[in-house]
Structure 1
Amino acid sequence: MSVDFVVATPHDAVEFNDVYRNVTGSAGYLACNNIYNRVVLNEWYDINPYPDLATHWEQLDGARRWRFHLNQAARWQDGTPLTAHDVVYTHLHAKQMGYQGAMFLNDVETIVAVNDHTVDYHLHTPNSGFLVLLGNFIFAHILPRHLYEGTDWATNPHNLKPVGSGPFRLAEWIPGEHVIMEAVKNHWGPQPQIDRLILKIVPDRDECVRMVARGEAHIVPQDTLTRDRLHLVQGVPGVEVMTREGPGMALLDFNHGRQLWQDRRVREAIACAINRDEITELGDPGVSQAWDHYLLGSSWALNPEAKAPGHDTQRARALLDEAGVRADSSGRRGRLTMFYMDMFHGHKPLAQMVARQLGEVGFDVSFDGLASVDWSREVRKNHDFDLIIVGGSMAPDPEITATKYSSGGRNNMGLHRNPDVDAAYLAARQATTRHERREHYQGLQAVWARDIEWVPLFWYGMYYPRSQKFFGWADQLGYSIPWWHWGRIRPVD
């Protein structure tokens, strides 16, 4: 009998090439994790890399060169052998064109195929945290060179009809309804134990959760089940609700390209206006909480002394006056625009709270949730905002954050330009032991706190309602696979 595994997701696909552009959280984002492979795998909760296309690897030249030995059995789904030349082409072309897949390749000088199954990444500078960049995010996937080379990635038909190397192939996509993937028979890697992986597009998040409760779906993606929806699924026979502290935080970032935010006093004033006693109302003890540190409490690199300023409305007003951002006769200091990504449902109540709190010190804040495509255009590309509430993935290695907060970071939405931050990242990359890296990352947090580069708000939690009819979730496999990879899922008798 055919075995189907069903995911209820509120967001439809856009395409199936996340190396070209990343549509975070969409059905395409989920599908890519199962259609393609990466060189190595890292999961949020484990800093150790695991094999994927590479069976093993070597750190050479003091972490300036990384050599990966690829699985010689790897094949594309059209039967073509997957080789080192596919790896070289995918990542060098993404870097050359500035595509999403280049986000964590800033340190890469070149990539060389030593032979058909061995590839070297040559870096400009040593980077002892390079593996987590190569394996933690899905836009590090490898594409088939024979189907992409010489084409315009923006219009390549395989964006909609992908040919991957992963355990599932795309069978059908009906926009607004579903994405269906079928198991690849005689797959070169672990053989899938389910026949079809079905992503059902259900815009109503409540209904997504109810589908799991009714047995019509087996899991929902991140940020679909939130604390206010737990009653829809708790206590339902055959459904386990897995909860734990999340791998990142929600934070408030400034558009440092605008003159207003280039004055540290103004940034401190905003930080002082934040009232985490109110934000605490959104928390769930043991799962999520208001947060004022610059890394998570679970991080091996946490600096417990580096904290954002506490709530002090009077000081916030005084700092704004001192900086020349004075109130008019009606007590108002001007208008601000603030955005969040609408697919991260928990950011909306944070935006409402922050807007109200900044209103208490004289700002009129308009806020709105943007779809991922609009976010890419308005925030990442055009930088057309004053403030953003954004998720900051801080695990399993702070090196991940460099793309957002270093001067040359490809995801530097806030236009950060802090030489002390850049120096701390560089020193941590060049350090060879975890102890030395921790010292530099603790220094980085001290700089963030000193300069109020951004404002931590909330350490979010994760809620996963999942069917007990299946086994093989990431936590059950020691985080050796990503959360959104279901190639190891198997039915339980």
Structure 2
Amino acid sequence: MTADHRPGRDFIVEVPAPAVEFNEVYRNFVGSAGYFVANNIYSRLVVFDTGSPAAYPDLAEHWEMAPDARTLRFQLNRNARWHDGEPVTAEDVAYTHLTALAHGYHAASFLHDVQDIEVLGPHELRYVLRRPNAGFLAQLGNLVFAHILPKHLYEGTDWATNPYNQQPVGSGPFRFVEHVPGERVVLEAWDGYWGPRPQIDRVILDIEPDLDEAVRKVADGRAHYLVQDVLTFPRLHLAEGSTTASVWRKRGPGVAVLSFNHTQDRWRDRRARAAVAHAVDRRRLVPLADPGWSEPYAHYLPRSVDWAFAEDATAPAHDPAEAVRLLDAAGITSAGRLPALRLAYMKTFTGHAGIAAAVAEDLRAVGLEVDVVGLDSPTWARQVGRDADFDLTISGGNMIPDPEITASRFETGGGRNHARLSDPEADACYAAARATTDRNERGEHYRELQRVWARNVDWVPLFWYAAYYLRSDSFFGWPDQVGFRVPFWHWGRIRPVN
């Protein structure tokens, strides 16, 4: 932490993982300091928080979707400027997203339906989709991928080596000041911001790999916020009794899931996948649950997406005898001793460690050897995302407020589909849901999607987790306090209480 910390005007955020770079449109390091820096330096067209189904303006001050759900027109804020003073234009937007699509960069994970982006004027553009997608706006406002980059600093360069990945120039409420690798990243409020100016002077991201110590720093007042996924139910006791900070909690936006490496022959047999599902004993996960907020879970979407939730779609029930029978029938165990299965999870999501350990015990109980491997974000991106070097994974992610968000994970060719799942029945459900703007009809297609996942055992739901936010009582402007008009990772509305 910097020596010249200014109480009351500095906002100190505890982050467990150091920054690699700050261009998350190019590639993604979930939960790293770079992830949170990018979210506060850059702007996007629209934003939303999982606490609200509505999208809110960012660079776009007005938008509309055509009745056929194939075109969206955006009008940009004419006052938006880059931190170097250059105007933000429709050319920046089109360049960023079309380049990401052309090269398969991280942003392409959610832009896969874009056929073209037409610049209609300096501050007006139209997205043309290759097929109807009534849920496209939810994709466009989802988390970090959709940042807009400055065309005048990136065009004609190799994004892999562009120096502005490390010295970012954005158009958001904070500008980049300093990065001391492994120690801190410092941002400061930008006086030229075209939106409401932040009422804090600086954001200091303090890199604290000791997760218990990160909680303690916020609880005892040395810091002001703990990024999501660090505070889990087993760690809540460290925040109890704090006189300077409070825990705000809510039902999480997604479900922890067990995925198969569908490139492997063994998992192409439904019997093998069903055997694994039958081996899972969710009672082992009860000690990880916070009653009323999280729970072992066998459904395929959170109940909170009530307009699309299928009550009748559940994973196969715990039945170890059936698991043993199916493993033998599929030739998994009858062929003799197997090498240990590699079950990977991302260490950033600390709650997944306990889930992975419990699932490994369940699989050992039916005769499968399992090695549990916790990976940091860059290693996960390389070994799991790029190389498919795993047998099974535990992962999580947003599934609300629109199930369209799940397509990047579970649709054939999805940009985040690390399991390489390809199920034509599921793909047909996605296509049907996109093709109508009637939410009731979309909901029925998504309910059928969940039934397909359950019937084909494409993946296995395990745990509906809670989201915990440990935050200082000395600041105001959290998403729940401003009507969820900003996402949980955006600190532009934070202000000192006094």
Using the size of structure 1 for normalisation, the TM-score is 0.98
- For residue 84 of structure 2, what is the aligned residue in structure 1? 78
Aligned runs of 1:425-464 on 2, under 5 Å? 425-464=430-469
Give 1:463 deviation, angstroms: 1.2
Q: Distance in 1 between matches of 2:409 and 2:234?
A: 30
Q: Deviations over 1:120-156 (max 9, x none)?
A: 0000011100001000121100000000000000000
Residue 307 (structure 2) pairs with residue 307 (structure 1): no
1:192-207 equivalences under 5 Å are: 192-207=198-213
Structure 1 residue 235 displacement after superposition:
2.4
- Equivalent residue number for residue 100 of structure 1: 106
The equivalent of 1:381 in structure 2 is 386
Deviations along 1:163-210, one digit per CA (max 9) or x if unpaired, are: 000010111110111100010013111101000010001110111111
Matched AA of 1:28: G
| Letter of the 1:306 counterpart | A
Give the counterpart letter for 1:199 in structure 2: L
What SS does the corresponding residue of 2:463 show, helix, strand or coil?
strand
TM-superposed deviation, 1:393: 1.7
Query: Number of paired residues?
Result: 491
Letter in 2 for 1:391: G
Matched, 1:220 2:226: yes
- The structure 1 residue matched to 2:40, chosen from 4, 25, 34, is 34
Matched, 1:115 2:110: no
Give yes or no for the alignment of 1:479 onto 2:487: no
Report the secondary structure of 2:369's partner residue. Answer: strand
1:269 to 271, 275, 292: 275
In the alignment, structure 1 residue 369 sits paired with structure 2 residue 374:
yes
Q: Distance in 2 between matches of 1:116 and 1:62?
A: 26
Q: SS of 1:139's equivalent?
A: coil
Residue of structure 2 equivalent to 1:322: 329
Letter in 2 for 1:317: V
| Aligned-partner Cα distance in 1 for 2:227–2:332 | 43
Using the TM superposition, give the Cα deviation of residue 297 of structure 1 relative to its aligned residue in structure 2, in angstroms.
1.5
Aligned to 2:246: 240
**Cα deviation, residue 61, structure 1:** 5.0
Poorly superposed stretches of 4+, deviation over 6 Å: none
TM-superposed deviation, 1:280: 1.5
Q: For residues 51 and 468 of structure 2, what CA distance do their matches in structure 1 show?
A: 15
2:365 pairs with 360, 367, 374, which one?
A: 360
Aligned to 1:260: 266
Alignment correspondent of 1:141: 147
Partners of 1:333 and 1:362 within 8 A in 2 = no
Give the Å deviation of 1:423. 0.4
1:53-101 Cα deviation digits (max 9, x unpaired): 0001011151100001100000000000000000000000000010001
Aligned AA (1:206): D
Conserved? CA contact 1:9–1:202, under 8 Å: yes
Helix, strand or coil at the partner of 2:102: helix
Q: Percent sequence identity over matched residues?
A: 53
Deviations 1:264-321 (A, max 9, x none): 0110000000001111221010111100000011112110000001100001011111
**Letter paired with 2:121:** N
Q: SS at the partner of 1:252?
A: strand
1:195-248 CA-to-partner distances (Å, cap 9, x unmatched) read 001000111011111111221101101121122222221221131111111001
- Secondary structure at the aligned position of 2:167 is classed as coil
| Other structure's SS at 1:69 match | strand
Displacement, 1:326?
2.9
The whole-number CA distance in structure 1 between the counterparts of 2:250 and 2:414 is 30
Q: 1:176 to 1:313 in 2, by over 3 A?
A: same
Give the alignment's TM-score, normalised by structure 2.
0.97
Structure 1 residues without counterparts, runs of 5 or longer: none
Contact 1:76 1:163 in 2 (8 A): yes
Question: Which amino acid is the alignment partner of residue 457 of structure 1?
Answer: L
Q: Distance in 2 between matches of 1:487 and 1:343?
A: 24
Aligned-partner SS, 2:55: strand
Amino acid across the alignment from 2:369: D
The letter of the residue matching 1:58 is E
Distance in 1 (CA, whole Å) between partners of 2:385 and 2:192 is 41
Instruction: Compute the displacement of 1:335 (Å).
Output: 2.3
Conservation of the 8 A alpha-carbon contact between 2:69 and 2:436 = no
Structure 2 Cα separation of the partners of residues 302 and 104 of structure 1: 22
Amino acid in the other structure paired with 1:421: A
Bigger mean CA offset, 213-222 vs 227-236: 227-236
